[in-house]
Amino acid sequence: TSIEKFIEGIPKAELHLHIEGTFEPELMFEIAKRNNKTIKYSSVEELKEAYSFNNLQEFLDIYYAGANVLIEEQDFYDLTWAYLTKVHQQNVVHVEIFFDPQTHTDRGVSFDTVIKGIYRALEDGEEQLGISFKLIMSFLRHLDEASAFKTLEQALPFKKWISAVGLDSSEVGNPPSKFERVFAKAREEGFITVAHAGEEGPSEYIWEALDLLKVTRIDHGNRCLDDDSLVKQLVEIQMPLTVCPLSNLELKVVTNLKDHPIAKMLDLGLLATVNSDDPAYFGGYMNENYLGITRALNLSKHQITELAKNSFKASWLSDQKKRDMI
Ligand code: ADE
Ligand code: ZN
């Protein structure tokens, strides 16, 4: 349809994407086989049937299990390259992606192996597909502060490759305040900071991400709508929210896309963007996310354009490149 063509046609930036969340079942089985690793499910179809979640934790358990078959640098390269070729077809021209080093270092895969594979694919993607990129190292918030500090140490030799640090995994019970000192050290070392906040957790966690972690973007941020004074502040400082519609639907943050708050966010003046989070698990990449909300909320071409422009505004591209895209 014409609206599909319109969505496909506009250049977009992806700002909330976990590279481990792009692991498609077919590639998972292929990599498992060459690494002599077993998967709990006997076929791609059986694995896909397990992708039904009642909340964030049910998803995370399956997502971490899937990542277990990634061992060699080439595995991380193949994972990242598959993602880039996929979104290249969707007119995604800039990506700022997360990787979760602790998911791998905790099972004996070295930090170097992980980042070198991902980074080499990103460089090839820039050269061969014209996709510019930034890399965000995300701490797993269900692990302790000491583990995050250790991960930050491991990242220092690769500082030039990593733009920012983030915070993800099980939100409720693991508030931003748990990582205040790690983030202070990260900022001292020159990293930008972002954090998942207000996905399942309360609006207070968004305040903490702003006040204690000094973030430049809030990942998700849905629950800000519970607190008028928070919304006012987020609008005033034009704090980007990296919203993930299909993720929200699959993890039951919303029960129906028709109830998705992204149109309301735009109306309130919030700098909301559309992102895919973990597309291999949630049934869609960038364009499917745009199309889902466009159909459910009857978005106009003007609103779609605003969301795409917001993705560049909220990015860490140079001011010149932003101007070219907006
Ligand atoms: N890790 C991968 N996707 C995530 C999400 N949506 N929330 C928290 N942690 C995640
Ligand atoms: Zn996420």
Domain boundaries along the sequence of the chain: 17-162
Please tell me if the CB atom of residue 277 comes closer than 6 angstroms to any atom of ligand 1. Answer: yes
Residue in 247, 202, 242, 253 with CA at minimum distance from that of residue 63: 247
Centre of ligand 1 to C-alpha 169, Å, is 5
Please name which ligand lies nearest the alpha carbon of 60.
Answer: 1
Centre of ligand 2 to C-alpha 16, Å, is 6
Is 199 an annotated catalytic residue?
Answer: yes
In whole angstroms, give the CA distance from residue 216 to residue 166. Answer: 10
Given a cut of 90, is residue 1 above it in pLDDT? no
The bridge status of strand 164-168 relative to strand 240-243 is unpaired
The catalytic position among 20, 24, 199, 208 is: 199
Binding residues for Zn(2+): 16, 18, 196, 277
In whole angstroms, give the CA distance from residue 75 to residue 34. Answer: 10
In whole angstroms, give the CA distance from residue 175 to residue 202. Answer: 9
pLDDT for 14 equals: 98
pLDDT for 248 equals: 98
Binding residues: 16, 18, 196, 277-278
pLDDT for 214 equals: 98
pLDDT for 145 equals: 98
Q: What ipTM, to 2 d.p.?
A: 0.98
Q: Whose CA is nearest to atom 10 of ligand 1?
A: 169
pLDDT for 116 equals: 98
Please name which ligand lies nearest the alpha carbon of 200.
Answer: 1
Note residues around ion ligand 2 (Cβ under 5 angstroms).
277
In whole angstroms, give the CA distance from residue 102 to residue 110. Answer: 10
Residue in 309, 304, 260, 283 with CA at minimum distance from that of residue 5: 304
Given a cut of 90, is residue 191 above it in pLDDT? yes
Q: How confident is the model at residue 133 (pLDDT cuts 50, 70, 90)?
A: very high
Mean pLDDT of the residues in the chain:
98
Given a cut of 90, is residue 100 above it in pLDDT? yes
Q: CA geometry: angle at 60 spanning 149 and 34, to 5°?
A: 90
Instruction: Give the CATH number of domain 17-162; options: 3.20.20.140, 3.40.50.2300, 3.10.20.30, 3.40.470.10.
Output: 3.20.20.140
Please tell me if the CB atom of residue 278 comes closer than 6 angstroms to any atom of ligand 1. Answer: yes
Q: Whose CA is nearest to atom 1 of ligand 1?
A: 169
Place of tokens 């049934």: 283
In whole angstroms, give the CA distance from residue 304 to residue 176. Answer: 32
Given a cut of 90, is residue 241 above it in pLDDT? yes
Q: Read off the DSSP letter of residue 222.
A: G
Residue in 139, 168, 143 with CA at minimum distance from that of residue 154: 139
In whole angstroms, give the CA distance from residue 99 to residue 165. Answer: 10
Place of tokens 């291999």: 280
Q: How confident is the model at residue 302 (pLDDT cuts 50, 70, 90)?
A: very high
Given a cut of 90, is residue 227 above it in pLDDT? yes
Burial of 197 (0-12, 13-18, 19+ CB in 10 A): buried
The DSSP annotation for 182-208 comes to HHHHHHHTT-EEEEEESSSS-HHHHHH
Span 318-322, average pLDDT: 95
58-87 pLDDT per residue, tens: 999 999 999 999 999 999 999 999 999 999
Span 140-161, average pLDDT: 98
Given a cut of 90, is residue 163 above it in pLDDT? yes
Centre of ligand 1 to C-alpha 145, Å, is 18
Centre of ligand 1 to C-alpha 316, Å, is 21
Position in ligand 1 atom list of the atom nearest CA 169: 9
Please tell me if the CB atom of residue 250 comes closer than 6 angstroms to any atom of ligand 1. Answer: no
Cα 37–chain centre separation: 27
Span 49-63, average pLDDT: 97
pLDDT for 230 equals: 98
| 8 A C-beta contact, residue 242 and residue 16 | yes
Span 10-22, average pLDDT: 98
User: From residue 69, how far is each of 36, 165, 227 by CA, in Å?
Assistant: 9, 25, 42
Given a cut of 90, is residue 151 above it in pLDDT? yes
Please tell me if the CB atom of residue 18 comes closer than 6 angstroms to any atom of ligand 1. Answer: yes
